[in-house]
């Protein structure tokens, strides 16, 4: 009671100071989560804003700014506060409660949006994120270890944050209703509200973007609901007749059946070309590795391919590639997985199985999924054999996300195992783990992979929140170097004249890239058959491991049809017309070429 009387007294004697302080703090809090969680942003507008010409400077200060700092303005909070101070009839308890409720919803949405855009790196969609949270949060809880001190500090922080919001809302309402609030404050508040309404009318849906200085919760909500409804409609309306017709390779037969190693490289993105702190060491590494490959008789071509996901969601990336259809949200993936438990989707794996291949899927992640869950997963993908972490009997130190054994050990062990399991041509699929965020600790490359399977002390996991940006960048570059050197060594250790290696980045790395770096990732195709690799030049690939044109030449969902077209064209038994290349894969509702 005493605290409430003191608060009223302060607001009564200093209403202008109290009102503006509360308004600014409440407005600031709506944008603080994004500024704190976005690793690429600072809390203040960058100095480069003020180095621009006056028109561009004004545009960045008051309209659109890529740096997601919290110095922005909320349309809804400003309009509600203006109504409170300008319209006496609205200064009632029910309207004050309404303002508090709307603000609470806006703050909750701001935290949700910041997590989705900065941590999960997805577009806000209630429909998609419901399923992602349902399936992903238990997995995170299992694999992300949080100490009691962190939980305690988090609980204290949340409690203090809620208390601050409650106090500031009371201050705003009490001081805003004070008869001593100056006319100047009322006029300025009304002017701000008028500017917000004008900006919203001019820019409308753009006010839903976090880069927009004038931010509208209403348009954010509208965009989210529209995205959710569209996703739901697209998922429910899927008809596989197009798919069955487009990927029907029954009339083709391979005379030569090389072993195919399809390896997705975690967080291997085109940002390595686009940022000055990455490009020189990255291209120098590629040049060195290319020379080593060429000396050993290997040929390579490379292109950039646009991934369906950015910064996360690896399963969307490799599923799009294997199924030949863009899959860019979790509900779409789940619907397809559930639908194809009996009949098989005509995937790259199935097409090669029809040609006599053994489709082996290697998962090194230390996981606790049930056998039933794994069975559902493999039925959907049509896998002949799933090699899981527990099957490998690895006892050495594990690293990074999962955690997982060294990729060098996993790839070699799985290859040796499969040589004893089948005499069929091999489709070997895996996604590497040791270049997963936060990229440390990670293993070192050794001469003999077998020596890695020895008990040893594991390094403590890195807390990414304690790392500055330069350290993150260094860790990422180290992880990429490890992966590429390891993969080139693997190629030379197990490959022969009858081997094809496809190395594909799944998505851009989180925390060290931005969405304006694009969605593309490198694709390397490596073989000892120069004619085979040269055939990909027709689809935008360039010789070697490096590209100079940073525009993506293909899409992940187009890889399936392109690869089958080249494989059948080069190694087909019959001289028949080559199957169609579908650059964007199957697009629902779009006609398939005859």
Q: How far apart are CA 439 and CA 462, in angstroms?
A: 9
- What Cα–Cα distance (Å) separates residue 94 from each residue in 78, 170, 432? 18, 14, 56
The pLDDT of residue 376 is: 83
Q: Give per-residue burial for 160-193: e unless 16+ CB within 10 Å, then b.
A: eeeeebeebbbbbbbbbbbeebeeebeeebbebb
For residue 265, the surrounding DSSP H or E stretch is strand 259-265
Locate CATH 3.40.720.10 in the chain.
259-571
Threshold 0.85, pTM exceeds: no
Q: Are strands 520-527 and 299-306 parallel, antiparallel or unpaired?
A: antiparallel
Inter-residue contact 263 to 430 (CB < 8 Å): yes
- What Cα–Cα distance (Å) separates residue 391 from each residue in 200, 386, 407? 58, 10, 15
SS3 sequence of 146-185: CCHHHHHHHHHHHHHHHHHHHHHHHHHHHHHCCCCCCHHH
Q: How far apart are CA 341 and CA 330, in angstroms?
A: 17
Q: How far apart are CA 543 and CA 390, in angstroms?
A: 39
The pLDDT of residue 415 is: 97
Taking only the tens place, the pLDDT of each residue in 513-557 is 887 899 999 999 999 999 999 999 999 999 999 999 999 999 999
Check the CA dihedral 134-370-399-493 and report its sign: negative
The pLDDT of residue 215 is: 95
Beta bridge partners of 300: 526
Q: What distance separates the 2 farthest-apart alpha carbons in the chain?
A: 92
DSSP, collapsed to helix, strand or coil, labels residue 136 as helix
The pLDDT of residue 484 is: 98
Best CA proximity match to 315, nearest among 370, 249, 240, 365: 365
Helix H segments across 204-323?
217-236, 241-246, 271-274, 279-295, 314-323
Q: How far apart are CA 459 and CA 186, in angstroms?
A: 59
The pLDDT of residue 2 is: 42
Instruction: Give residue 177's Cα distance to chain centre.
Output: 46
The pLDDT of residue 590 is: 60
Query: Tens of pLDDT along the chain (594 residues)?
Result: 444 556 666 676 788 999 999 999 999 999 999 998 886 778 888 888 887 787 888 888 888 888 899 999 999 999 999 999 999 999 999 999 999 999 999 999 999 999 888 766 678 888 888 877 776 665 555 555 555 565 677 677 788 889 999 999 999 998 988 888 999 999 999 999 999 999 999 998 899 999 999 999 999 999 999 988 988 887 777 777 888 888 999 889 999 999 999 999 999 999 999 999 999 999 999 999 999 999 999 999 999 999 999 888 899 999 999 999 999 888 888 888 888 887 778 899 999 999 999 999 999 876 656 677 778 888 888 899 999 988 998 999 998 877 889 999 999 999 999 999 999 999 999 999 999 988 988 899 999 999 999 998 888 778 777 788 899 999 999 999 999 999 999 999 999 999 999 999 999 998 898 878 999 999 999 999 999 999 999 999 999 999 999 999 999 999 999 999 999 999 998 767 789 999 999 876 565 555
469 Cβ contact list (under 8 Å, min separation 6): 39, 40, 512
CATH code of the region 259-571 = 3.40.720.10
Q: How far apart are CA 131 and CA 302, in angstroms?
A: 35
59 Cβ contact list (under 8 Å, min separation 6): none
For residue 543, the surrounding DSSP H or E stretch is strand 542-543
The pLDDT of residue 1 is: 45
Q: Are strands 385-387 and 358-362 parallel, antiparallel or unpaired?
A: parallel
Q: How far apart are CA 399 and CA 417, in angstroms?
A: 22
The pLDDT of residue 396 is: 92
What letter does residue 593 receive in the DSSP assignment? P
């Amino acid at each position: 009671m005493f605290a409430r009387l003191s608060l009223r007294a302060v607001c009564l004697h200093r209403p202008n100071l109290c009102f503006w302080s509360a308004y600014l703090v409440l407005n600031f809090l709506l944008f603080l989560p994004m500024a704190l969680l976005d690793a690429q942003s600072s809390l203040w507008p960058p100095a480069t804003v003020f180095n621009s010409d006056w028109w561009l400077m004004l545009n960045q200060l008051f309209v659109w700014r890529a740096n997601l700092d919290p110095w922005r303005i909320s349309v809804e909070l400003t309009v509600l506060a203006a109504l409170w101070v300008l319209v006496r009839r609205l200064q009632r308890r029910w309207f004050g409660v309404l303002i508090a409720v709307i603000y609470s919803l806006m703050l909750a949405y701001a935290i949700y949006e910041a997590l989705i855009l900065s941590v999960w790196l997805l577009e806000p969609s209630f429909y998609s994120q419901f399923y992602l949270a349902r399936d992903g949060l238990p997995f995170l809880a299992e694999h992300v270890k949080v100490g009691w001190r962190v939980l305690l500090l988090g609980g204290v922080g949340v409690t203090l944050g809620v208390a601050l919001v409650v106090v500031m809302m009371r201050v705003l309402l009490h001081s805003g209703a004070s008869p001593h609030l100056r006319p100047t404050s009322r006029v300025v508040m009304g002017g701000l509200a008028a500017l917000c309404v004008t900006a919203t009318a001019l820019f409308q849906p753009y006010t839903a973007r976090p880069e927009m200085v004038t931010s509208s919760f209403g348009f954010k909500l509208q965009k989210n609901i529209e995205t959710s409804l569209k996703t739901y409609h697209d998922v429910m309306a899927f008809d596989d007749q197009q798919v069955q017709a487009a990927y029907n390779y029954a009339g083709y037969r391979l005379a030569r059946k090389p072993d195919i190693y399809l390896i997705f490289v975690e967080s291997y993105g085109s940002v390595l070309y686009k940022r000055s702190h990455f490009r020189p060491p990255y291209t120098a590494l590629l040049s060195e590795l290319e020379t080593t490959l060429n000396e050993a008789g290997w040929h390579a071509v490379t292109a950039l391919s646009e991934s369906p996901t950015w910064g996360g969601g690896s399963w969307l990336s490799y599923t799009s590639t294997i199924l030949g259809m863009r899959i860019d949200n979790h509900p779409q993936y789940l619907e397809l997985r559930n639908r194809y438990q009996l009949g098989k989707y005509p995937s790259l794996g199935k097409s090669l199985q029809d040609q006599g291949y053994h489709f082996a899927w290697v998962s090194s992640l230390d996981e606790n999924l049930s056998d039933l869950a794994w069975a559902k997963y493999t039925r959907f993908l049509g896998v002949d054999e799933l090699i899981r972490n527990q099957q490998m009997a690895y006892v050495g130190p594990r690293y990074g996300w999962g955690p997982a054994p060294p990729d060098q050990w996993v790839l070699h062990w799985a290859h040796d195992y499969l040589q004893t399991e089948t005499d069929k041509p091999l489709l070997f699929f895996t996604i590497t783990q040791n270049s997963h965020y936060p990229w440390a600790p990670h293993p070192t490359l050794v001469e003999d992979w077998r020596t890695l399977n020895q008990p040893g002390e594991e390094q403590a996991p890195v807390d990414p929140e304690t790392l500055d940006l330069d350290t993150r960048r260094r860790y990422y570059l180290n992880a990429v170097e490890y992966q590429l050197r390891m993969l080139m060594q693997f190629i030379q250790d197990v490959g022969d004249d009858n081997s094809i290696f496809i190395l594909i980045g799944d998505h851009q790395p989180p925390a060290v890239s931005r969405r304006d770096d694009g969605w593309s990732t490198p694709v390397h195709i490596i073989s000892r058959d120069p004619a085979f690799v040269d055939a990909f030049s027709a689809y935008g690939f360039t010789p070697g491991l490096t590209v100079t044109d940073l525009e993506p030449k293909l899409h992940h969902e187009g890889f399936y049809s392109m690869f089958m077209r080249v494989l059948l064209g080069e190694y087909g038994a019959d001289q028949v017309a080559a199957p169609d290349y579908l650059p964007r894969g199957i697009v629902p509702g779009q006609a398939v070429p005859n």
